[in-house]
Amino acid sequence: MGSDLVRIGTRSSALARWQADWIRAKLQELRPGLRCAIMPISTAGDRILDRSLPEIGGKGVFTQELEAALASGEIDLAVHSLKDLPVESPPELTLGAVAEREDPRDVLVSARYATLHELPRGSRVGTSSPRRASQLLALRPDLALASLRGNVDTRIRKALEGEYDAIVLAAAGLVRLGRASAVSSYFGFGEMLPAPGQGALAVQCRAGDEAVLDLLGPVDHRPTRVAVAAERAFLRALGGGCSAPIAALGGFDGLTVALEGLVAARDGTALVRVRGSGADPEELGERLALEALGKGGRELLA
């Protein structure tokens, strides 16, 4: 970081740019006169669109290139959707801020049907997430699930043009891009538990960069950071990434952390749900992960 210039690394999609611009605006609001340069960086997850995420590596496909640029000093911070960020971080990098979370729910987008239950038997539903797929099949085992890749606008267009009868997306991305009007319905958490970190923005920086860490301090939203710490501890203890059907949602009221976690069979025939609360988010996430493994989660993840 120069005396008055911060280089912000981001993926190049419209949603990623929105997220980077939002962080830039927050930083400039906190420190008037600060100059920020947005530096788009291409990732494997953006380049390879003809295969599912688990096929091309799962963990880190949207973050590895950004982390490399950060470690080399090419950029000063990187903005990620937290759910894309692997739970194991390189030792030279740290999570400088977790911004306040947007709506963590998943949504259904369809040109013809208002809810999942209105879809005819055998309807083609687009998702590339094993977590979403398993929960969809638990609700509607008759559905025909199909891979769905591309940016948010591309996915919505495919749904509205009838390539799919419906698709499932994260509410946060549609809200941020001003596309909430495309939502047909929102899933309740009892129907579709979100990915760990869904809806939250992560700002990564170098571990020893005190100037950037100081700059990011006011951006950090403690209730969100504590909640997602529990979710990510649950994921870490299960050894999972985006290739595993694992879901978690935490909450923090200033004193107590609450967490609900889920481990699912890929075909939706079995779901293991766990719930608990505690004072320490890391301990809570690990404790509920062990509980889930003991209730059958180990067999589901094998």
Is residue 272 domain-resident?
yes
Give yes or no: residues 164 and 204 share one domain.
Answer: no
Let me know if residue 124 belongs to a domain. yes
Q: Would residue 193 count as lying in a domain?
A: no
Does 81 share its domain with 214? yes
**Do 137 and 268 meet the contact criterion of CB atoms below 8 Å apart?**
yes
> pLDDT of 1-27, one tens digit each?
656 799 999 999 999 999 999 999 999
Claim to verify: residue 72 and residue 129 sit in the same structural domain: no
State the chain's mean pLDDT as an integer: 93
Q: Verify that 52 and 124 share a domain, yes or no.
A: no
- Pair (8, 84) in one structural domain: yes
Tokens of 2: 């120069």
Give the pLDDT score at 244: 81
pLDDT at 98: 98
**Contacts by 55-59, CB closer than 8 A, 24 or more apart:** 58/241, 58/242, 58/243, 59/86, 59/241, 59/242, 59/243
In a domain, 192, yes or no: no
Q: Say what the pLDDT of residue 4 is.
A: 76
Residue 279 lies in a domain: yes
Domain co-membership, 180 together with 213: no
Mean pLDDT for 195-222 is 97
In a domain, 73, yes or no: yes
pLDDT at 51 over 70: no
* pLDDT at residue number 68: 93
Q: What residues make up the domain containing 227?
A: 222-302
pLDDT score for 57:
53
Is 112 in the same domain as 83?
no
pLDDT at residue 56, as a whole number: 45
Helices (H), 64-219: 64-72, 130-139, 152-160, 171-176, 210-216
Residue 69 is encoded by which pair of tokens? 């640029």
- Looking up tokens 């030279």 gives 92
Q: How far apart are CA 136 and CA 133, in angstroms?
A: 5
Is it the case that residue 62 has pLDDT exceeding 90?
A: no
| Model pLDDT, residue 48 | 52
| 220 is a catalytic site residue | no
Catalytic residue among 84, 103, 106, 165: 84
Please indicate, yes or no, whether residues 178 and 265 belong to a single structural domain of this protein. Answer: no
Tens digits of residue pLDDT in 67-126: 999 999 999 999 999 999 999 889 999 999 999 999 999 999 999 999 999 999 999 999
Is residue 116 in some structural domain?
Answer: yes
What percent of the chain shows pLDDT beyond 90? Answer: 86
Q: Compute CA 265 distance to the chain's CA centroid, rounded to the nearest angstrom.
A: 20
Predicted confidence at residue 149, as pLDDT, reads 84
Given this model, what pLDDT does residue 63 score?
87
> Across residues 41-63, what is the average pLDDT?
62
Whether 191 maps to a domain, the answer reads: no
Residue 97 has a pLDDT of: 98
Count other Cβ atoms within 10 Å, centred on residue 246.
Answer: 28
Output the domain CATH number for residue 151.
Answer: 3.40.190.10
Q: Are residues 26 and 155 in the same domain?
A: no
For 149-174, what is each residue's pLDDT tens digit? 889 999 999 999 999 999 999 999 99
Whether residues 244 and 281 fall in one domain: yes
Tell me the whole-structure pTM to 2 decimals.
0.92
Q: How many domains does the chain have?
A: 3
Residues 110, 180, single domain; the answer is yes
Sign of the C-alpha dihedral, residues 24, 28, 31, 33? positive
pLDDT tens for 270-282 read 999 999 999 999 9
Q: Are residues 175 and 266 in the same domain?
A: no
Domain boundary among 136, 160, 186: 186
Q: Which of 39-43, 64-68, 283-287 has the highest mean pLDDT?
A: 283-287
At 229, which CATH number?
3.30.160.40
pLDDT of residue 1: 60
The pLDDT of 191-210, averaged and rounded, is 97
